[in-house]
Structure 1
Amino acid sequence: MKRLFAFACLVTTSWFAVQAQDWKPAGDKILTTWGEQLDPKNPHPEYPRPQLERQNNWKSLNGLWKYTVAEKSVSEKPTSWEGEILVPFAIESALSGVGKEVGKDKALWYSRTISVPKTLRKGRTLLHFGAVDWQCDVYVNGQHIGQHEGGFDSFSFDITTVLKKGADQEIVVRVWDPTSDGPQPRGKQINNPHGIWYTPVTGIWQTVWLESVPDSYIVNTKQTPNVETSTLTVSANVDGAQAGDQLVLEAYDGTQKIADASVAVGSEAKLKVSNPTLWSPDNPKLYDLVVKVVRKGKVVDEARSYFAMRKISMEKGSDGIQRMYLNDEFVFHYGPLDQGWWPDGLHTAPSDDALKFDVIKTKEMGFNMIRKHIKVEPARWYRHCDSVGILVWQDMPSGDLGGNNWDMQPGKISNGVHDKDRAPESEAIYRKEWKEIMDELHNFPSIVVWVPFNEAWGQFKTKEITEWTMDYDPSRLVNSASGGNFAYIGHILDIHNYPGAAMPDPNLFGDKFVLALGEFGGLGLPVEGHTWQEKDNWGYQSFKNKEELKDRYQELVNDLNELIKRGLSAGVYTQTTDVEVETNGLMTYDRKVIKIPEQELKEMHNKLYQHVVQ
């Protein structure tokens, strides 16, 4: 029997290797270096959940799956398949190997027969999806095990009871995604890409993986630092907990244990972290955390995590103007609008190294912040920001656009008069996914600002949504509507202005809100051989060469510096990279050309961080 099993594994492995040899990127668009070097036998092999690690009991299911596109009305598993698709890349992307659009009248089906070793069949076996856009039905061995709606949050199913005897198990996934024809959060996707609107992303676009867990296991944790009391509050959701179970926590600085606590499962624990080193962009100090479930003295489940001690707040200076403070000191937030798009993977970076590259380059350019623009990244991206030391403003992906009476001029509108009237279904979808996103990202210390709305795109019930966000996570600041309709709620008043630097009037709003320039710049420079298309590319203001671009950028930074003196707390430059026909990135879309050298940018930016507030 062992020989037969080994032979079956050998046959499966050999088949996969042959299929992988046939894979190649679809289409003729530019590729990143990581895309050119992608190994289809092992895409995104890294452990995908850095805030709750069980490293030894998991298996990546990324790789080649069978796919077909069928009529939306068809609910039965297809009897034939069109070809192979490389997971976790959306079907429209080059790296999927397909490069095909789907649309609202079709459904995308996936199938793969996998081997589940005995090591993954102890206790419970979980099937995890990092993200699937948008409505996803999952079948294992012919049985429907669940449906999930939401394109930016992870989900999982317990498949223990549907696994068959023997190694081979069939997974089938059906995805329907209406993109811009539906009300769901979608970010910059649109069915007819043009201008600032990009190619649809349909289907699996983050890692798919199996995990073995005990019958009683830690589902997730919630970790919130308090700098004033030098404590970390921790709670955990434990599935299958029994009466008397204890949640045991241990905090480490390297190999040295610095704190521990034990409480009943279901209760909050407080870890006392004496004399903590506070996390900041200049010193991104992280501590390790071990979380255990203990029953009658025996460890039932154990996972590793990490945390940081940091505080984000708003305070008035002696001039009466509110400003953003990090760890009780004024820190000007300056960073790029980062959309997280890739010419070869669309929403999906071609590799973890590529994902990390953008963060590191941003830091090397002298930025201390990133505004993650109407997209949610894989968890590993936030881990990179935590480790490198980048402040993150996290947007909620937009959806259900159109229909807003939009006025960007603060001072001219009253609360709520320009809110969009969204249907109950649309509201429910938004609220559910925003909560899921906030829950999923809560533990990443780099995130310091939540942004529920961008530029009146689907903006609705602004006061209610903002107040809910503030109440749900009081440990962060809330920017209710970046550049959108101002309902005078939340912590931040944020305008957009292209191309020059501007700010809300400090005399009118400075005593109540942190003042921010949520988007500006957009200086364009197409670089031949590195554009999405050969002509008709654009920026908000375009230039012929790098020297002209650099000179104009220097002017913007000089203007920004003067606004800080008047009370500006943050600026967001558009943008990190070119994206499709937009050529206003500091890097080309393929990341092969940096338009202004990193060190020169850093020298320009240094003066922005020298301001002292009394």
Structure 2
Amino acid sequence: MNKKTLSIFYFLLIGVGIVHAQTTNWKPVGDKIKTQWAAQVDPAHALPEYPRPQMIRPGWQNLNGLWDYAITPKSTDETVPTSFDGRILVPFAVESSLSGVGRTVGKDSILWYRTNIPFSSKLKNEKALLHFGAVDWQCDVYVNGQKAGSHRGGYDPFSFDITPLLIKGDQQQIAVRVWDPSSDGPQPRGKQITNPHGIWYTPVTGIWQTVWLEKVPLSYIESTKNTPDVDQGTLTVSAVTQNAEAGDILRIRAWDGTLMMSEKEVPANEAAVLPVPNPRLWAPGSPNLYDLTVALVRKNKVVDEVKSYFAMRKISRKADAQGIQRMLVNDKFLFQYGPLDQGWWPDGLYTAPTDSAMYFDIITTRDMGFNMIRKHVKVEPARWYYHCDRLGMLVWQDMPSGDMGNKWEPRPGIMGVGTDKDRTSESESIYRREWKAIMDANHNFPSIVVWVPFNEAWGQFKTEEISRWTEDYDPSRLVNSASGGNFHEVGDIIDLHNYPAPAMPAPKIYGKDQVIVLGEFGGLGLPVIGHTWQQKDNWGYQTFKDSDALFGRYKGFIDDLVGLIRQGLSAAVYTQTTDVEVETNGLMTYDREVIKVPIKQLDAVHQKLYKSSLVQMDK
């Protein structure tokens, strides 16, 4: 077996790229409940899977593992410390159990990371890119003591070309400086708060998604953008390239298994439109995916190539026979029903202990009979959306909220009573930059069908402007301008929140121009002894003593929804997938050990909703 074959064999054997070995006394900290997957966390192979399924190259190195950490007083000093407090397991936030630290940082402190990695500076016509899946919130990155770059934003991936900073030898040092004001700052932060209580949870500071190193050619593909057009039977593909030369082209190929369906070559700075003959459409129950390769070609030689995938899927709206707007998937009305999914873990906080844990949440949701997930004021790692793509789960993607404090008026039938927040120019700039970055990073995932810029007036500002910008920036999806927030005559959707029983905005007022949805309802609570975040003082919108009583109430809600569908309701979101900290409204406990209502019972009762989707669309 030659060296090249041996290298490929090693990559396939571990299935995750190269990892560096570690020895440690690491263990989870704290006395809170944990998931079954916590025991599977290996500090030498933490979240080892390839982190970017939409843009795959074979040459990468996973940098997750034990790093040095220190928490120091906030100052303008950006010098990497010479002494550290201990070891932290990346990519788990410092406040989490799985980090091995479990400490709070706060606005008056800085969190430092440092690690030495095995990586040679001897690159042959290559560059080294250092990637971060997500760091909350503001960070500065240093390589061998020199600053590689800075980033602000807790939910979007970013990268730095560190080639000029490499030093001779086979060891390189990486350090990261993080400042996160949590709820004391104006930045997007979702449900994080300095004083966790009720529906507000533990802060998440620092690195919380995979860190990885990638070798690329001197001229390379930085990103791709894939947009299907079901009506035309085409896929439009473009790419951002670095250091492309005059005459370089993009060679784009679409594959159905081993069969190449179509191929196009265009100049490197242009978009290609590929025909997709007789497309097998993607939808819940039939999540058909096609393979895609995008190559940068120079003088008929491939300089760089990435592998990806795409789906032919259309999301739209149209008036039914009653003149009420309906949400359509591939030109057919499908009632969209899913849980409010906050993506929190008792042991990892924002970060699932393992990839299989993350997958478990999605496939269990599907098996319960849901066809949609509302990802609530959080953005997940790319692999979460990849699992939704291949499992056929529709996704409504929220923008994480922040800078709250304006007046909220959620009642249907009352327009404009609530207020848009008067944000500072800095706060607006932070929001706009990160919302665009989130949309860019996740554009290629076909599972995402709705963008949600605001939730319940939490920092809702310039609603009409932000909603119209979102519509213009991505016309391939629908826009829910303010889920449960202050209503404006903008966007595709009008969205009411109502607890606990289902309700809907008045069709005669809203349904002629916007799709009517129930963005949150339910919240039926059932604390399960031994599986709660704390022993007492847990909370639910309406608390029950046993599963039968809860399910009886839940079945009544489903019957109510059937009637609302006939009146014009297009979608509903039940609160929620799991318990989160003291909030016990989940269909599962926070540790995922107890499913409060049997999966088959939920699936059976949910089928009523999809049968009710057979409404008359044409007059």
1:124 to 113, 122, 127: 127
Q: Distance in 1 between matches of 2:395 and 2:19?
A: 44
Q: Distance in 2 between matches of 1:463 and 1:115?
A: 50
CA contact (8 A) 1:140 1:169 kept: yes
Q: Which amino acid aligns with 1:342?
A: W
Give the superposition deviation at 1:153: 0.3
Q: Distance in 1 between matches of 2:465 and 2:20?
A: 55
2:117 to 92, 114, 118: 114
Q: Secondary structure at the match of 2:309?
A: strand
2:421 corresponds to which residue? 420
Q: Distance in 2 between matches of 1:463 and 1:510?
A: 18
Give the superposition deviation at 1:18: 2.9
1:18 to 23, 40, 54: 23
2:190 to 180, 187, 205: 187
Q: Distance in 2 between matches of 1:53 and 1:613?
A: 42
1:405 to 404, 407, 428: 407
Q: Which amino acid aligns with 1:222?
A: K
Q: Distance in 2 between matches of 1:18 and 1:492?
A: 53
Give the superposition deviation at 1:119: 8.3
2:567 corresponds to which residue? 566
CA contact (8 A) 1:224 1:475 kept: yes
Give the superposition deviation at 1:412: 2.1
1:67 corresponds to which residue? 69
Q: Distance in 1 between matches of 2:124 and 2:304?
A: 15
Q: Distance in 2 between matches of 1:190 and 1:541?
A: 24
Give the superposition deviation at 1:510: 1.1
Q: Secondary structure at the match of 1:18?
A: coil
CA RMSD of aligned residues (A): 1.3
Give the superposition deviation at 1:122: 4.9
CA contact (8 A) 1:185 1:430 kept: yes
CA contact (8 A) 2:120 2:171 kept: no
**1:330 correspondence with 2:333:** yes
Give the superposition deviation at 1:79: 1.6
1:464 corresponds to which residue? 465
CA contact (8 A) 1:122 1:212 kept: no
Q: Which amino acid aligns with 1:65?
A: W
Give the superposition deviation at 1:145: 1.1
Give the superposition deviation at 1:518: 0.1
**1:295 correspondence with 2:298:** yes
1:250 corresponds to which residue? 253
**1:540 correspondence with 2:541:** yes
Give the superposition deviation at 1:405: 1.7
1:213 corresponds to which residue? 216
Q: Which amino acid aligns with 2:372?
A: M
- More deviation, 504-513/422-431: 504-513
Q: Distance in 2 between matches of 1:243 and 1:603?
A: 59
1:93 corresponds to which residue? 96
Deviations 1:254-299 (A, max 9, x none): 1111111110011010000000000000100000001001000100
2:577 corresponds to which residue? 576
Q: Secondary structure at the match of 1:175?
A: strand
Q: Distance in 2 between matches of 1:321 and 1:32?
A: 44
1:383 corresponds to which residue? 386
Q: Which amino acid aligns with 2:401?
A: S
Give the superposition deviation at 1:410: 3.3
**1:231 correspondence with 2:234:** yes
**1:176 correspondence with 2:179:** yes
CA contact (8 A) 1:252 1:287 kept: yes
- More deviation, 248-257/112-121: 112-121
Q: Distance in 1 between matches of 2:482 and 2:582?
A: 26
CA contact (8 A) 2:121 2:166 kept: no
Q: Secondary structure at the match of 2:450?
A: strand
Deviations 1:239-263 (A, max 9, x none): 0100000100010111111111110
Identity over aligned pairs, percent: 65
Deviations 1:444-464 (A, max 9, x none): 000000000000000000000
1:58 to 42, 57, 60: 60
2:11 corresponds to which residue? none
CA contact (8 A) 1:57 1:119 kept: no
2:14 corresponds to which residue? none
Q: Distance in 2 between matches of 1:539 and 1:282?
A: 32
Q: Which runs of structure 2 are paired with 1:204-603 in the superposition (5 Å)? A: 204-402=207-405, 404-414=406-416, 418-603=419-604
Give the superposition deviation at 1:613: 2.3
Q: Distance in 2 between matches of 1:201 and 1:287?
A: 36
Q: Which amino acid aligns with 1:409?
A: R
CA contact (8 A) 1:245 1:294 kept: yes
Q: Distance in 1 between matches of 2:21 and 2:178?
A: 24
- More deviation, 405-414/166-175: 405-414
Give the superposition deviation at 1:37: 2.2
Deviations 1:159-186 (A, max 9, x none): 0011011001110100000000000000
CA contact (8 A) 1:469 1:478 kept: yes
Query: Residues 91 and 120 (structure 1 numbering): CA distance in 2 closer, same or farther, change over 3 Å?
Result: farther
2:5 corresponds to which residue? none
Q: Distance in 1 between matches of 2:212 and 2:264?
A: 32
The aligned length equals: 597
Q: Distance in 2 between matches of 1:202 and 1:66?
A: 15
Q: Secondary structure at the match of 1:137?
A: strand
CA contact (8 A) 2:566 2:615 kept: no
Q: Distance in 1 between matches of 2:509 and 2:288?
A: 38
**Structure 2 residues not aligned, in runs of 5+:** 1-17
Q: Secondary structure at the match of 1:556?
A: helix
CA contact (8 A) 2:540 2:583 kept: yes
Give the superposition deviation at 1:538: 1.0
1:49 to 40, 48, 52: 52
Q: Secondary structure at the match of 2:467?
A: helix
Q: Distance in 1 between matches of 2:602 and 2:569?
A: 20
Give the superposition deviation at 1:75: 2.4
Give the superposition deviation at 1:413: 2.7
Query: Residues 188 and 547 (structure 1 numbering): CA distance in 2 closer, same or farther, change over 3 Å?
Result: same
Q: Secondary structure at the match of 1:346?
A: coil
**1:147 correspondence with 2:150:** yes
Q: Secondary structure at the match of 1:36?
A: helix
CA contact (8 A) 1:119 1:212 kept: no
CA contact (8 A) 1:57 1:120 kept: no
Give the superposition deviation at 1:417: 6.5
Q: Distance in 2 between matches of 1:443 and 1:37?
A: 31
Give the superposition deviation at 1:567: 0.6
Give the superposition deviation at 1:121: 6.3
CA contact (8 A) 1:120 1:211 kept: no
CA contact (8 A) 1:483 1:496 kept: yes
Q: Secondary structure at the match of 1:261?
A: strand
Query: Residues 368 and 421 (structure 1 numbering): CA distance in 2 closer, same or farther, change over 3 Å?
Result: same
Query: Residues 215 and 36 (structure 1 numbering): CA distance in 2 closer, same or farther, change over 3 Å?
Result: same
2:105 corresponds to which residue? 102
Q: Which amino acid aligns with 2:334?
A: V
Q: Secondary structure at the match of 2:23?
A: helix
Q: Which amino acid aligns with 2:588?
A: M
Q: Distance in 2 between matches of 1:287 and 1:118?
A: 37
Q: Distance in 2 between matches of 1:204 and 1:185?
A: 16
Give the superposition deviation at 1:411: 3.1
Q: Distance in 2 between matches of 1:391 and 1:84?
A: 39
- More deviation, 70-79/103-112: 70-79
Q: Which amino acid aligns with 1:146?
A: G
2:84 corresponds to which residue? 81
Q: Distance in 1 between matches of 2:535 and 2:122?
A: 52
Q: Distance in 1 between matches of 2:579 and 2:282?
A: 31
1:167 corresponds to which residue? 170
Deviations 1:290-315 (A, max 9, x none): 10010001000000000000100000
